[in-house]
Amino acid sequence: MKTITRLFDWPPVWLLIAMYTVWALDHLFARLSLHFPGQGPIGLGLIGAGIVMTLLAALEMRRARTTLVPRRDPNALVTTGIFRFTRNPIYLSDWIILLGWIVFWGSILGLPLLWLFPKVIVKRFITGEEAKMRAHFGDRFEDWARRTRRWI
């Protein structure tokens, strides 16, 4: 049971759950799906943009020699690159990937996940991560947090 609980300590698992939910809703309630010209390329473009954003954030964190793993102690406060625009580019990219997935499938019933997913991420991950960063970096974190939005 502890292994299953630990599985939920990984943000990509929450993204996969949300994506599976969208897929399932689309297949169970196909008549409620929305279809429009360019839907596939737009959805895939958003997914691609999310993946690129994740890679940019990971590269920036690697350059700073700090962890990508939630709940681990950070070695550095990363405020460069994509972190100049958002404090949580990987979580934001997960949201963009989810948006792309919803567009790709045309899942109207999946739209509430765009509201619910960030709520779960903030509660399960961001609040604790920011507390840890506040404790490690103090005023440097506070200054960065004041001028940099959590999402966008």
Global pTM? Answer: 0.91
Residue 42: give the domain boundaries.
37-147
- Of 84, 60, 71, nearest to 131 by C-alpha is 71
For the residues 107-127, what does the mean pLDDT come to? 95
Question: Residue 8: pLDDT above 80?
Answer: no
Residue 84 inside a domain? The answer is yes
Which residues fall within 8 angstroms of residue 29, CB to CB, at 6 or more apart? 109
Residue 122 inside a domain? The answer is yes
Q: What percent of the chain is predicted at pLDDT more than 70? A: 95
Residue 19 inside a domain? The answer is no
Please state the domain count of the chain.
1
State how far the Cα of 106 lies from the Cα of 136, in Å rounded to an integer. Answer: 43
